[in-house]
Structure 1
Amino acid sequence: MTERREHEYHWALPSVLLGDDTDGRPARRSTRDWIVDLAMFVAACGITLLTASELPGVPGPLVVVEQVAGVLACAAVWLRRRWPLGFALVVTALSSCLALVGGAAVVGLFTVAVHRPFRISGPFALFNLVMLVPYVLLRPDPELGRAGELVLGVAIVLTVFAWGIVVRARRQLVWSLRQRAAIAAGEARRLERERIAREMHDVLAHRISMLSLHAGALEFRPDAPAEEIARAAGAIRDSAHLALQDLREVIGVLRHPSSAPDDPVPDRPQPTLGDLPALVEECRRAGMEVTLSMTGADPPQVPQGLGRNAYRVVQEALTNARKHAGGSPVTVTVSGAPGEGLTVEVRNPLRAQQSSRIPGAGAGLIGLVERVELAGGRLKYGAAPGGDFRLRAWLPWTP
């Protein structure tokens, strides 16, 4: 999809005159457009004045025609943006017999070469070469002769046409690079939105499942001692505050004002492998039976990105266990070493699974697979020998 859209952007420009809207309607000239048009007008007038030396030998009535045609042709240069091909065809046809129209004809050839694709500008350049023949036959130069004048005319046409092609190619390149940059920026924004969405799911699903767990305990044990009810209510309050804080931090990232498009967006504080014991302890306080084993992976030595991904794997696995296997013991094992990778395994008995009262979008494990694969790792989950549900992730650990 991206390649096709980029291809369409790249070929949309040649069919539209630069300085016009994309629908072909004339746009207001910018300051640069006015400067360029003024330069083209001055160039046409200058070439016309240089060719005026050929008029002394011309009959009187023809001199008047030459002068009127030259003035009108130079004035018509200001219309080249609205009707580039029509303007160029008229002045080029007139230049086949009138000398003072030559300056406007040169500007018309350059305009068509810059603003029209080669399938149009190429035949038009050939038309210019053909129009040289009647001019050389009707107005031979006494010093150069017909052959010398024809060679000079061909050289001028080819030079102006080549110059216009180079200018067009450069503009297309600049435009294409800008479009590529815009596409890349859009892709970066899309990836950032996906990353924030995964972050919101990982964090809020954990917090809300903890809320549901504590609220369920109050629902099923209304006759519990006052101390237990107060403790559960306090846990619900703390989980709600933490969920609101996490949501506020994520929204703060989305609303971050950036003075420039390339300014980095500050990231919210991210958990690492060292925060895993605190996560397990929080789940234990909520009534889960969780066993944590960490071998070979010293948290301070684990890179932050790797530790964050491992933490999110365990967090989502514990959230999933709370939803679908409430009351069953959960075993979390983290092991690995630099060079061989970090392995995270979470197991809980399938036989203890029960219908969940906690609703879910069903995208937690799918998002977890995407997260692990983006990090270059692998993740598998499902029933394991022995009647357990096992989630196993391997993440690369570069020494």
Structure 2
Amino acid sequence: MQDRNHLARVETTHQVHIIENGLIDIPMLQILKPDGTLHDEAQEPALSEDVARKMYDTMEYIRVLDERMIGAQRQGRISFYLASTGEEAAAVGSAAALSPDDMIMSQYREQGALAYRGYTTSQFMNQMFSNEKDPNKGRQMPIHYGDKALNFMTISSPLGTQIPQAAGYAYGQKMAGNDAVTICYFGEGAASEGDFHAGLNMAAVLKCPVIFFCRNNGYAISTPADEQFAGDGIASRGLGYGVKTIRVDGNDPLAVFAATKRARELALEERCPILIEAMTYRLAAHSTSDDPTGYRSREEEDKWRAKDPIQRMAKWLQQKGWYDEAANKQLIDETRQEVLKALKEAEKVSVNPIEDIVNDVYDEVPWHLKDQLDNLKDHIRQYPDAYPKTSGRVK
């Protein structure tokens, strides 16, 4: 019988023994140099030309989408946006290593993972414009995507809520005997939430097949990492909870792919959680409400621009003979046209009936919500010029 006494595993000492920070040196997996060449000791992961091209094309697509939607927010066409500039490899490289049956629980900067799975430009736009074609019926902020058919759980605004949820969902996958895992994305700032610790501990104790994927991009909005924690990043926390851990260069698409593929194999073989810490950098502002010039320098940003994941992969593709510069330029131009066309179409679609604010919340709408809805309708009727004619279609 297994000895369940945890003290049976503990070595004893007879003098005061202090364990200092940095006792364990956690290495970072890196396959590609910034110039796109392989490190001498590195081995390429098994990537077909089709998968490699899809990864690269998706990263280019997301960068175009981000640029266009930031512009749309500045024009007042949407209210809010979060770009993933500089972090595309973390989301796309990891998504490429998954099975379509694996559940994705995202934070709010993983649009690349959703696009890789097949989410269309029109679907992105309908959600961001909160129109009638938005499956969330306009009740979420922009960039709070979700798609049941693609196994992508709807994003929540509060930080960290998806982490214990991912542990629970993965436990359900394990109990059902499914050949699938859950991947849960979050930033290093969200790792300061209590949900992070609860989720990792739950997954470790119950041996849930979940990949906790932390994008350590250097800042929790304006707070740099060295003001968030004194330990060795987020990877050291996984070890503390008894979770197998990998640290990877988050700007290296091949390394992210290889790390996630191995993590998935282990999660299924051993029915256990894995923590991946992807070391990357947020070149964009935290959101369209943020101005990063107030807390970091241009020189700091330029150092990371030299490590751009899209340029790194493009150079690798060139060396493989899988990249054509003229064809890539045409792809980017066509993507810009596609995004602009979908944007113009989505903003013309009517918004949802105002009743959808309270519908689907309860089996029957309770009296207090009916009263609030009536008061809102009266307010809009009283001040019709302050609201668009399509706003809620008040009768």
TM-score range for the pair, normalised by the shorter chain length: under 0.3
TM-score computed with the length of structure 1 as normaliser: 0.21
Larger Rg: 1
Structure 2 length as normaliser, TM-score?
A: 0.21
Structure with greater helix share of residues? 1
Bigger relative contact order, structure 1 or 2, given CA contacts below 8 A and separation 6+? Answer: 2
